Amino acid sequence: MKALPKVSLGVFPTPFYKLEAISATYGRNIWIKRDDLCGVALGGNKVRKLELLLAQARQQGCDTVFTTGGAQSNHAMLTAACAARLGMRCILLLKKRGVTDHRGNLVLNDIFGADVRFLDTDRYEDIYAEMDRLSAELAREGHRAYAIPVGGSNPLGALGYAACVEELAAQAGAAGARIGHIVSATGSGGTTAGLLLGAKTYLPGVKVTGIGVDDDPFDTIVPQLAAGAAELAQIPFALEEGDFSMVWNMGPGYAVANEEDTPYIQELARREGILLDPVYTGKAWSGMLRLLQEGHFTGGGDVVFVHTGGAAALFAMDLPGA
Ligand X SMILES: Cc1ncc(COP(=O)(O)O)c(C=O)c1O
Alpha carbon distance 212, 217 (integer Å): 9
Helix boundaries (H) for the chain: 20-26, 46-59, 74-85, 105-111, 124-140, 155-175, 190-202, 218-233, 262-272, 281-293
Active site residue 73: yes
Asked whether 182 and 206 are in contact (CB, 8 A), the reply is: yes
3-state DSSP call for residue 187? coil
Establish if 191 lies at the interface with ligand X (CB under 6 A).
yes
Dihedral Cα 17, 22, 27, 30, nearest 10 deg: -30
Q: Which of residues 138 and 156 has its CB atom nearest to ligand X in the complex? A: 156
Establish if 187 lies at the interface with ligand X (CB under 6 A).
yes
Establish if 188 lies at the interface with ligand X (CB under 6 A).
yes
Query: Least CB distance from residue 256 to ligand X, whole Å?
Result: 15
Q: Which of residues 263-282 bind ligand X (CB under 6 A)?
A: 280-281
Alpha carbon distance 262, 320 (integer Å): 7
Instruction: Tell me the per-residue interface mask from 91 to 130 with ligand X, x by CB under 6 A, - otherwise.
Output: ----------------------------------------
Establish if 310 lies at the interface with ligand X (CB under 6 A).
yes
Establish if 309 lies at the interface with ligand X (CB under 6 A).
yes
Establish if 43 lies at the interface with ligand X (CB under 6 A).
no
Query: Least CB distance from residue 183 to ligand X, whole Å?
Result: 12
Query: Least CB distance from residue 20 to ligand X, whole Å?
Result: 24
25-53 burial, b at 16+ Cβ within 10 Å, e below that, comes to eeebbbbbbbbbbbebbbbbbbbbbbbbb
101 — phi, psi (to 5°)? -65, 160
Of the candidate spans 100-108, 198-206, 294-302, 307-315, the one that interacts with ligand X by CB under 6 A turns out to be 307-315
Size of the site for ligand X (CB under 6 A): 19
> Could you say which of 23, 73, 184, 188 is catalytic?
73
End-to-end CA distance of the chain: give it in Å, rounded.
Answer: 46
Q: Which of residues 251 and 301 has its CB atom nearest to ligand X in the complex? A: 251
Establish if 189 lies at the interface with ligand X (CB under 6 A).
yes
Query: Least CB distance from residue 33 to ligand X, whole Å?
Result: 12
Of the candidate spans 22-30, 127-135, 249-257, 306-314, the one that interacts with ligand X by CB under 6 A turns out to be 306-314
Establish if 308 lies at the interface with ligand X (CB under 6 A).
yes
3-state DSSP call for residue 199? helix
Where does residue 97 rank: exposed (0-12), middle (13-18), buried (19+ CB within 10 A)? Answer: middle
Instruction: Enumerate the active-site residues.
Output: 73
Q: List interacting residues with ligand X (CB under 6 A).
A: 44-45, 74-75, 151, 153, 185-192, 280-281, 308-310
